[in-house]
Amino acid sequence: MKPVRAHLTSWQRLAVALVVGLGLMAGHSAAADQGKVTVEKVEYKGWKNNLRLSNGEVELIVTLDVGPRVISYRLHNGPNVFKVFEEQAGKTGGDEWVAYGGHRVWAAPEDLTRTYAPDNGAVKYQKVPQLQSMPAGTVGVRFTPAADTAYGVQRELEVYVEPTGSRVTVRNLITNIGDKQTQLAVWALSIMAPGGTEVIPLPPHHPHPGPPKNAKSAADFAPNLVMVLWPYFDFTDPRWHFGSRYITLKQSSDKGPTKIGLSQNMGWVGYLNNGTLFVKKFHRHQDRHYPDHGVNFETFSNQEMQEIETLGPLVHLDPNKTAEHTEHWELFANVGQISDEAAIDKEVRDRIKK
């Protein structure tokens, strides 16, 4: 896919296009907004310029002074499910990378240079057509920071909000703007607010086939999950629970870093925090290679936050070509506690199936 570039003569022209194409409105109640997506510039946490997208049931705020970051995602009258680092909020500029919070796009594998290239400046935005699979009335916006010319990549986010419900589609994009091929994987990272429990589904079990004559194929003897561990992971860490059908990870304010990665074929991960369930859905391409010994899902936790990370396949990206990795998000309110796997089935998995 070739990158799409805006050829606009001024920000005024862009603003007019957004007013016409997106219905840019301010001061409307959530009830008045239901059934359509409104877009407006707002101040947030000290940043003067941010774009708010809302359909009256769900709200997204994306930073325009830095990033971009999807800095807030919440149900109407609900809490922001993402972490915002308050000491970093409202800041701009500087030549060092800053987390800020929220959701971002990175390039994997992780290194000390390209991964941590600073994105502390202004972000452009423009309307994009809704994808064919989306319901009528869906609004999409592309967010484009300054190109990372030092490493020859252009990172972008596309956010699509449907006219009803909480479902959001996020396309994480990286374009090779250099003059030679580069290897990378698109890496989508969401920093979750502290205090929640992450739910990671495991693949179904099946019995050992016994003698070879009982096996349908060699796959009956093969593993069905890859797990990788970071050197600061500890199996005795009480935040982790490895169950029969799920792995869970609790964020704790008195515990330091921990991280694992999985070859996640189940297609979703959840995070339950004070009755609000965040669900991230994603796809693994079975015939492709992935970074970090073959994993497409990773999760990191420390005393401040929890991070839910998904990855696209490793690609050898030619100049002027774009790599894409898509996620689908949803929020659910009034979700009960998940003290065991039966509760996870009821409170989490049954909601995702609907």
Res 284: pLDDT: 96
Res 35: pLDDT: 80
The rounded distance, in Å, linking the Cα atoms of 44 and 41 is: 10
* Mean pLDDT, the chain cut into blocks of 10 residues (354 residues total): 42 42 45 79 98 98 98 97 97 96 97 94 96 93 96 97 97 97 98 98 94 92 95 98 98 97 97 98 96 98 98 98 98 96 96 83
Res 111: pLDDT: 93
Res 353: pLDDT: 79
Res 31: pLDDT: 55
Work out how many domains the chain is built from and give that number: 1
Q: Is residue 1 part of a domain?
A: no
Q: Is residue 78 part of a domain?
A: yes
- Residue-number span of the structural domain to which 109 is assigned: 11-353
Res 29: pLDDT: 52
Q: Is residue 2 part of a domain?
A: no
Q: Is residue 64 part of a domain?
A: yes
Length of the chain: 354
Q: Is residue 3 part of a domain?
A: no
Res 3: pLDDT: 43
Which amino acid belongs to residue 150?
Answer: A
Sign of CA pseudo-dihedral 281, 282, 286, 289:
negative
Residue 195 belongs to domain with CATH number:
2.70.98.10
The rounded distance, in Å, linking the Cα atoms of 207 and 189 is: 35
Q: Is residue 106 part of a domain?
A: yes
Tokens of 259: 């991280």
Q: Is residue 134 part of a domain?
A: yes
Res 2: pLDDT: 41
Region class of 175: left (phi > 0), else alpha (psi between -120 and 50), else beta: beta
| CB 347, CB 273: distance < 8 Å | no
The rounded distance, in Å, linking the Cα atoms of 111 and 115 is: 6
Q: Is residue 284 part of a domain?
A: yes
